[in-house]
Amino acid sequence: MTTATTAPQTIPGPRGLPGLGWRANILKMYLNPFAYLRWLHDTYGDVVALAQGDPSNVVAFGPALNFRLLSDPDLFRNDAGPFKFSDDTAFGRLMQNNLPTMNGEKHRQHRRLMQPAFHRQQVTHYRDDMVMLTQSMLDSWQGRTEIDAATEMKLLTQRIAVKTLFGLYDETGVERMGKLLLRMTRSMLLVMIAPVNIPGTPYHRVLGIVGEMEAMMRSLIAQKRQQSEATDVLAALVHAYDEGGVQLSDEELMGHAITLFVAGHETTANTLAWIIFLLDQHPRVQADLLDELSDVLHGEAPTIEQLKQLPLLDSVVKEGLRLLPPAAIGTRATSTPCELGGFELPKGANVVYSEFVTHRLPQLYEEPDRFKPERWATLDRSPYEYLPFSAGRHMCIGAAFATQELKVVIAMLLQHYRLAIVPNSRIAANISMRPIPGLPVRVFPQDRQFQRAPIRGSIQQLVDLAQ
Ligand code: HEM
């Protein structure tokens, strides 16, 4: 008997450009990410090569492949990619010590140490800070007629992050840390592309910022070591130890704390901005939500108990995260040659998966482009079918924190103000799912005069706003 040998199949995909290969298609994805991802899936299927036939850079779509990628973290690893930094600089040490780029036993150990600080029960302790800072933002809007809701949400989530993560209670500390972190993250892309330590370069500048931040963090960590009670995340991490008595070192604590700030504020800010947008465009939902909030909260900020009694708020948050997930794509790299969706991948292949495309599959979500919070009253989806916080071992550690923050802010904001999008604003989303150029809104005391504003811009290709 002869055994038929099957030649390895070519992975379908768009042609790469001569000399540029898949890079040209990455650029297309960067310029119009959401339409491009959906086009790739519709045109080529569940496994797509970013340059036809090249198995080293592929995109995998749908729940079955999400499961394959995310449930086997030793095979499909998180990787810092081609960016390697010398770990004898402050920046290099920082890049070594963060959950998203850790793998294997090291990731498991650090995650175990950090998990208690983000446990649902522990997160309830951050509710008062969330309420206090939201209230101070709402107070600052008095007398203002127009704001950029995207910027306001970013400022708020930054302040909540600095306060709850680092326990900085004096305004100068909050501002100083916030500014340093921002200056650092702004230069990040240039640093990744050109880590050249010469005076005047972004990398040199970032090393200076990181040095300043390290000094501030070291003194904070020393203070937390004296504290007996863990009232903030950093204090909880300082006092965390595993069964073997192992604790996080100062270097590790700094890396984690900074990653938490970076991972934790922009995603939440973008979600808040999009929920404000979606509510403006769906006046009925907004009216129903305000009824629910007023009935339960009577104008007050929600307690932890009350948050459980607000099903429509829960559905609005879930649906906002489904439709416009702030982490629209993720990546993994193969640790060894393997099979994916019927194709052979080499060791080191980069695989992109997409929360965004999964959330738009009509077989999972009826009328997937529409904002329909009511669907969640009956819908139940697996962690690989609904994954705004990803799934598996690297699933967002801050999911409970973020969900609580989103709910507290929306509940308080809506009971105080009606934000109405400035008519004819042009609105789009970039690859980080940030509203661009922003979300200009008019501010009114809450008067229930909900009306959908006419809008322009490519967001209309992402959300079906037909009545
Ligand atoms: C709406 C808000 C948020 C969204 C949509 C979000 C989304 C995500 C996603 C998709 C991942 C997984 C990435 C991957 O699989 O590689 C992730 C990981 C992570 N997130 Fe979030 N996140 C949010 C808020 C937060 C907050 C508030 C914090 C902390 C305060 C946080 C901290 C982290 C950390 C540390 C990781 C890495 C976990 C690991 O690798 O083990 N995130 N997040």
Which residue's CA lies nearest to atom 6 of ligand 1? 389
At 40, which CATH number? Answer: 1.10.630.10
Non-local CB neighbours of 386 within 8 Å, separated by 6+ positions: 318, 322, 358, 359, 364
Using 50, 70 and 90 to split pLDDT, how confident is the model at 46?
Answer: very high
Structure confidence at residue 258 (pLDDT)? 81
**Residue predicted with more confidence, 122 or 422:** 422
| Structure tokens, 245 | 């008595």
Residue 12: inside a domain, yes or no? no
The pTM assigned to this predicted structure is 0.92
Range in 2-16, 128-142, 270-284 the model is least confident about: 2-16
Residue 220: inside a domain, yes or no? yes
C-alpha 268 – ligand 1 centre gap (Å): 10
Structure confidence at residue 137 (pLDDT)? 97
Strand 428-429 relative to strand 435-436, pairing: antiparallel
C-beta separation of 153 from 288 below 8 A? no
| pLDDT at residue 81 is higher than 60 | no
C-alpha 413 – ligand 1 centre gap (Å): 24
Kindly state if the Cβ of 330 falls inside 6 Å of ligand 1.
yes
pLDDT, one tens digit per residue, over 230-287 is 778 888 899 888 888 888 888 888 888 888 888 888 999 999 999 999 999 999 999 9
Q: What is the mean pLDDT of residues 315-337?
A: 96
Residue 3: inside a domain, yes or no? no
Structure confidence at residue 124 (pLDDT)? 92
Structure confidence at residue 223 (pLDDT)? 87
Q: What is the mean pLDDT of residues 422-443?
A: 95
Q: Is 264 helix (H, G, I), strand (E, B) or coil?
A: helix
Which residue's CA lies nearest to atom 25 of ligand 1? 264
Residue 14: inside a domain, yes or no? no
| pLDDT at residue 299 is higher than 90 | yes
Residue 52: inside a domain, yes or no? yes
**Residue predicted with more confidence, 444 or 196:** 444
The CA distance from 229 to 81, in Å, is 39
C-alpha 396 – ligand 1 centre gap (Å): 3
Kindly state if the Cβ of 255 falls inside 6 Å of ligand 1.
no
Name the residue of 396, 403, 432 to mutate for ligand 1: max ligand atoms within 8 A of Cβ. 396
Residue 8: inside a domain, yes or no? no
Structure confidence at residue 170 (pLDDT)? 63
Kindly state if the Cβ of 263 falls inside 6 Å of ligand 1.
yes
CA torsion sign for 243, 241, 395, 304 is positive
Q: Which long-range contacts (CB under 8 A, 24 or more apart) does 157-160 make?
A: 157/264, 157/265, 157/266, 157/268, 157/269, 157/272, 157/405, 158/182, 158/261, 158/265, 158/269, 159/133, 160/126, 160/129, 160/130, 160/133, 160/134, 160/265, 160/405
**Residue predicted with more confidence, 16 or 416:** 416
Q: What is the mean pLDDT of residues 119-127?
A: 90
**Alpha carbon of 239 to those of 95, 122, 355: distances in Å?**
22, 14, 35
| 165 CA closest ligand 1 atom index | 30
Kindly state if the Cβ of 394 falls inside 6 Å of ligand 1.
yes
| pLDDT at residue 120 is higher than 80 | yes
Structure confidence at residue 1 (pLDDT)? 41
The CA distance from 238 to 221, in Å, is 7
Q: Is 181 helix (H, G, I), strand (E, B) or coil?
A: helix
| Structure tokens, 72 | 């086997």
Using 50, 70 and 90 to split pLDDT, how confident is the model at 183?
Answer: confident
| Structure tokens, 241 | 């130890």
Q: Is 417 helix (H, G, I), strand (E, B) or coil?
A: strand
The CA distance from 73 to 361, in Å, is 25
Residue 130: inside a domain, yes or no? yes
Based on the structure, what is the number of domains in the chain? Answer: 1
pLDDT, one tens digit per residue, over 89-115 is 667 767 778 898 899 999 999 999 999
Residue 10: inside a domain, yes or no? no
The CA distance from 338 to 344, in Å, is 6
Its domain, for residue 54, covers 22-462
Structure confidence at residue 3 (pLDDT)? 43
Kindly state if the Cβ of 157 falls inside 6 Å of ligand 1.
no
Q: Percentage of the chain with pLDDT > 90?
A: 62
Which residue's CA lies nearest to atom 21 of ligand 1? 396
| pLDDT at residue 6 is higher than 90 | no
| 114 CA closest ligand 1 atom index | 35
The enclosing H or E element of 276 equals: helix 250-281
Kindly state if the Cβ of 327 falls inside 6 Å of ligand 1.
yes
| pLDDT at residue 80 is higher than 60 | no
| pLDDT at residue 298 is higher than 90 | yes
| pLDDT at residue 2 is higher than 50 | no
Using 50, 70 and 90 to split pLDDT, how confident is the model at 466?
Answer: confident
| 70 CA closest ligand 1 atom index | 15
Over the chain, what is the mean pLDDT?
89
Structure confidence at residue 5 (pLDDT)? 47
Structure confidence at residue 240 (pLDDT)? 87
Judge residue 410's burial from the number of C-beta atoms within 10 Å of its C-beta, 0-12 exposed, 13-18 middle, 19 or more buried.
buried
Using 50, 70 and 90 to split pLDDT, how confident is the model at 319?
Answer: very high
Which residue's CA lies nearest to atom 26 of ligand 1? 264
**Residue predicted with more confidence, 7 or 234:** 234
